[in-house]
Structure 1
């Protein structure tokens, strides 16, 4: 494997080396580098720094709505497990002849056939294309923050030069992610777009990053085991594990505990696309279109605000729907946890941060408002929000391994408002199910679903949002 450093990275490393008065590369390292740099290196997907940001202002789209062919049924019915699902005896013994030494019988893709790293179905293509849309926005978003906010603004929140270099490096990682997905999708793979971010300062920027990387991560976990192409799933798995580390890093940048949950949830592709599309302004002509649904926006009127000392004592402190990104616009300096002097209340960037006042708690009233369907969103305003639900009756809390329902109260179809009570449930003893950066949907029934079939809930979703439980 070649060992190479780009000119830009060499410059950055040189600046760091000068700051710490240490040599950049030793003589021995230089000799080794010269010996191995002749090995050919695969090229990355073409990319640029996006220069235009903001809401879409172009002409009305000529094509609207999700990509579609003949639809065979209004929904996929729930069925019993496939025949033979309980036949295997899980007793720790071997029950079949071994195909090779030290190798048990069974498994998928284990017969020695050469792997083919490409999509094998419409499901594969649309799922990986969705993941690629996320990689492109993250590449731009990470660069955009570094270019938009000053050193002083970052350092006011405890994000120093080395942290900012990590942010730059995470942007570099997205180049590799976009390259892998583009290669597996082929010539019609989605390309870079222009974007619109709901933030105006560093704290809001960090919060939007940690929410976006969570739904991008959870979106892949939702479809990864269902891909027809096991080899494509393998490469995407090795990509999304980096996404998970990025999400944890942004929580640390925001002064939040890095991983308050024991399990990371998976969500359907239509949820990930719903949460992403509003922040894409425009895309190139003839861009690959998505098949996934765009659900109406859900506003959490008292969305917990991690920038506050008391993050649960809030009202209308978000920059908009879907992501419900925190806003600091109406929070006084004395109420910002970054300014707290008590170590149990403050929230500077840190590897780990314990805060004595929880962001949310069982029994908390959560006040909700949602949009009507029919709103145009996404690239070039060419997608339209839709739902089958006439009247929502439940709040579905999607976190860890659970989907937990709580009834809606005071439902008004005129103002499209209601409230619910945050449930008191646990995944396991000692592990509150409602925790971390999670998802909240309004539904018309309390359908029983589990992590592997959670997409069956889609026909019953009225609106969707990210909920900051912890």
Structure 2
């Protein structure tokens, strides 16, 4: 039986049997002492010459990709099946073994050859979103390097070796984009044009670590739900590298590299909401996405990591959603980049421990958010929408926790909600903003690990449904605005 060329291309990186490692620089032609000879897969090519800046044209189509039939407006939560807790979990073996030393059970363990393709609309749209992120990161890292001098990078503690690491991370994205493009096939999304908000090195680093968080956390959110377990195994290997990238950018900012015990996963629509505003245009035949774009959420007093006392920041962000820090206009005596005290310094370091935390439980957080109906994303062709009712809570999504704090001091028109949720993007074209306040909660999943730390996600919701990491996407019909990235630590 003839094999799918796509299958062979994806299998190539997985074939081993080498007795001698290839010499450096000869990766394109690998010769093995015995076994299978596999040439390296050429990288995927970009779809257009990349430019930077806002989109200035008129959208030729609007709204997210939608199916002819939409079965409902929300998925109702249900209890687990009666068989969900029947396995004894006593440490003994209860199922037959296919072969010695192979406990019974598991998916894809019966010898059937894996096929690394997508098997559902959910798979395709999830991997397409991931590919949008990979293209974005590749260009972002390269563009950031091109915009600033070595002296500007040196001012925040970065050496030429550090800059090469950023360059190498861009090269990693070539591999990630190639992998996902091969899985998706000819209709895979291509590279676009982008509109980045940063103008300084510190802003570039902050924006990059937040984009890396978006890419990493969105894959954690959908990976367990993919119908194609074979494709999920490859994507897992790429996201392990993305996680390291996020840690590295935190280190470049003088932040503690991983102040959490668990990393958070979020729904695809959350990632698309945060990413789309920075994509100005794409090739004419670009594959569109089905995910929702929620109204933008701004954290008015977002903690600013370049301040000695970052928790005192107010109106020091340059864009909603990511809430990227603004480093311009900060007096020299308030900048932690210039601090001489070790526990106040925020220059690049393997590990940093700041005297004054960026945030803490009990902190009042001020928020503003858009009403639905704004055009965003490539060619301004996606429309922000919300199915939710009036705004009542702030959802804090971090580590293994989804918790809620009351929203108070509401001002503005409408109270949230509104819009036609047919999926075509025909939302009520409403202008204006809402505002409110909340108190940062004090919670832990396990004692000794404050749940709210690091780079986390918050959103405005109309209710406080009980959800856990595996079914977090059920929160989407309740989202009034957001998510936003909150720099908790």
Q: TM-score, normalised by structure 1?
A: 0.92
Match for residue 134 of structure 1? Answer: 133
Match for residue 98 of structure 1? Answer: 97
The superposition leaves residues 229-271 of structure 1 with CA deviations (integer Å, 9 ceiling, x where unpaired) of 0000000000000000000000000000000011000000000
Inter-CA distance 332–467: structure 2 relative to 1 (3 Å threshold): same
Match for residue 392 of structure 1? Answer: 391
CA distance in 2, matches of 1:35, 1:82: 52
Match for residue 469 of structure 1? Answer: 488
CA distance in 2, matches of 1:228, 1:345: 48
Inter-CA distance 182–34: structure 2 relative to 1 (3 Å threshold): closer
Please list, as runs of the form range in 1=range in 2, the aligned pairs for 1:68-467 lying within 5 A after superposition: 68-69=66-67, 70-414=69-413, 416-464=434-482, 465-467=484-486
The superposition leaves residues 181-238 of structure 1 with CA deviations (integer Å, 9 ceiling, x where unpaired) of 0000000000000001110000000000000000110000000000000000000000
CA distance in 2, matches of 1:47, 1:166: 22
Stretch of structure 1 that moved more, 368-377 or 385-394: 385-394
Given candidates 62, 65, 71, the residue that maps to 1:64 is 62
Show structure 1 runs of 5+ residues with no match. Answer: 8-31
CA distance in 1, matches of 2:115, 2:314: 52
Inter-CA distance 33–226: structure 2 relative to 1 (3 Å threshold): closer
Alignment check: 8 A CA contact 2:97 2:104 kept: yes
CA distance in 1, matches of 2:118, 2:267: 19
CA distance in 2, matches of 1:33, 1:106: 37
Stretch of structure 1 that moved more, 40-49 or 181-190: 40-49
The CA deviation at 1:39 is 6.4
The CA deviation at 1:6 is 8.2
Match for residue 23 of structure 1? Answer: none
Alignment check: 8 A CA contact 2:389 2:478 kept: no
Give the RMSD, CA atoms, in angstroms: 1.8
Number of aligned residue pairs: 444
CA distance in 2, matches of 1:302, 1:439: 15
The CA deviation at 1:158 is 0.7
Show structure 2 runs of 5+ residues with no match. Answer: 1-20, 414-432
Inter-CA distance 330–456: structure 2 relative to 1 (3 Å threshold): same
Alignment check: 8 A CA contact 1:2 1:40 kept: no
Stretch of structure 1 that moved more, 421-430 or 408-417: 408-417
Match for residue 5 of structure 1? Answer: 25
The CA deviation at 1:64 is 0.5
CA distance in 2, matches of 1:54, 1:3: 42
Alignment check: 8 A CA contact 1:2 1:39 kept: no
CA distance in 2, matches of 1:228, 1:75: 21
The CA deviation at 1:286 is 1.8
Inter-CA distance 229–53: structure 2 relative to 1 (3 Å threshold): same
Q: TM-score, normalised by structure 2?
A: 0.88
The CA deviation at 1:52 is 1.2
CA distance in 2, matches of 1:192, 1:51: 8
